[in-house]
Amino acid sequence: MRHENLSWVQDLWKILETVATLTKEVERANGEIKELRRDVNALTLVVSQLKSELSHEKATTKLVLDNFEKDGKHLKESIDSKFDVLITRLDSKITDFEHRLPANQPEKKSTFRSLESGLDD
């Protein structure tokens, strides 16, 4: 009977060891879960900040590109306007030059005037 009592105590001791081991494993797992939650929260914060920065960069880039587009249009309009002024001046000089030609030469259409119609593209 002593052996039966001893066996019962040994079984109880093994159960207590198993419970203690499982308790330590649960505590370790809980600690890891807390650490993972902290990491997820930190990662969520970083992702949120990156999203905000990307939105800001997107808006800034759009403004810059819009400004480049506007500047390009203004530049084209300015060049077109200056070109029109230069063509007008050139036509005026050609007309002045044609009026100075001797009257006995038949009037020819100037090849320079064809520039104006060919450069309107």
Which residue bears the tokens 């997107």? Answer: 58
Query: What does the buried/exposed string (b/e) look like for 14-34 if buried means 16 or more CB atoms within 10 Å of the residue's CB?
Result: eeeeeeeeeeeeeeeeeeeee
Question: Is this structure's pTM higher than 0.85?
Answer: no
For the segment 70-94, the average pLDDT, to the nearest whole number, is: 94
For the segment 63-90, the average pLDDT, to the nearest whole number, is: 94
CA-to-CA separations, 39 to 16, 42, 75, 100, 114, in angstroms, rounded: 34, 5, 52, 89, 75
Given a cut of 80, whether residue 88 has pLDDT beyond it is yes
The dihedral over CA atoms of 51, 54, 56, 61, expressed in degrees to the nearest 10, equals -160
Q: What angle do CA 81, 82, 88 make, to 5 degrees?
A: 90
Q: Are the beta carbons of 116 and 94 closer than 8 angstroms?
A: no
- 108-115 CB contacts, 8 Å cutoff, 24+ apart: 115/87, 115/90
pLDDT tens-digit profile of 20-63?
999 999 999 999 999 999 999 999 999 999 999 999 999 999 99
